[in-house]
Amino acid sequence: MTPSIYSCKPARALASTILFGTALALLFAVASQADAQTSQAVPANARVRPYGGGWTCLHGYREERSECAPVPVPENGFLNPFGNDWECNRLFRKTNGACVALVVPEHAYADDSSYGRGWQCEQGYREVRDSCVAVQLPANAYATDSSYGQGWRCERGFRESSSACTAVAVPANAMLDASGEKWACFRGFVKSAETCARVEIPANAFLDSTGSGWRCERGLFAAGTACEPLNVPANAHVSYSGNDWACHDGYRKEAELCVAAVAQSTSR
């Protein structure tokens, strides 16, 4: 007798239920095993990372050979902000796993820097082999704040030359520049060798913005050392610069003339 199609449905539903239950049981088993492995892998003084898996040591501990060992903070030291290493207090420096008192030489002061020697020489002294020696100032010089280099600079109006300060020779119609080590000509004069020569301004011209050259008045143009009038053709005007000309709208420049521009046709 052939079984009815309706009699197969309960059997199929039962099989599906059994398969679903088996899969769910396997899923719980795998999850439980993973949790067990994770808990077994986390060493003492560590915590599981909330994201990405794995673990990290607690504050005051650091990883050593897959374990979390306490950070050994020496005397006059403190834990760093991350809690995985240590730093020395002010006026102490790391030396062979300890914090050794900083030795500040005579004529020096301790600074707040965590790098370098931890001290700097006072003004008027410079660093020489872990000590501060007095700066030997030449005439017309002053001590600088830097504890490195020669430790001095020349006064304004003098320039360094062979470890000495020599006077800057300022010619007539000139002045010291901002650096105090060079000179510049007054407005209306131009440098010529070691002197300042007056700017020769032709008729109908004026000093330019630099003060060391000249420009022609509006409607004129420079021709060598003179100003000549512009030859403005018909249908043109003096340009914005004032020393050239341009064609009116609707005209274009052709040689020294302005000719009517040909309008482009819009018909096809």
Distances (CA, A) of 162 to 138, 142, 166, 168, 210: 11, 16, 9, 14, 35
- pLDDT (0 to 100) of residue 268: 45
Alpha-carbon span 195 to 173, nearest angstrom: 8
Q: Which two tokens stand for residue 181?
A: 């080590």
More confident residue, 194 or 12: 194
pLDDT digits 0-9 by tens, 199-249: 999 999 999 999 999 999 999 999 999 999 999 999 999 999 999 999 999
Q: What is the residue extent of each domain of the chain?
A: 103-167, 216-268
Cα 110 to Cα 77, 143, 163, 254: the distances in Å are 18, 20, 30, 77
Mean pLDDT of the chain: 84
Q: Which CATH code is given to the segment(s) 216-268?
A: 2.10.25
Handedness of CA 155, 161, 166, 171 (dihedral sign): negative
Residue keyed to tokens 């913005």: 209
Q: Which pTM value belongs to this model?
A: 0.49
H/E stretch holding 174 reads strand 174-176
- Is the pLDDT reported for residue 18 higher than 80? no
Cα–Cα distances (Å) from 53 to 33, 39, 63, 158, in that order, read 15, 12, 16, 69
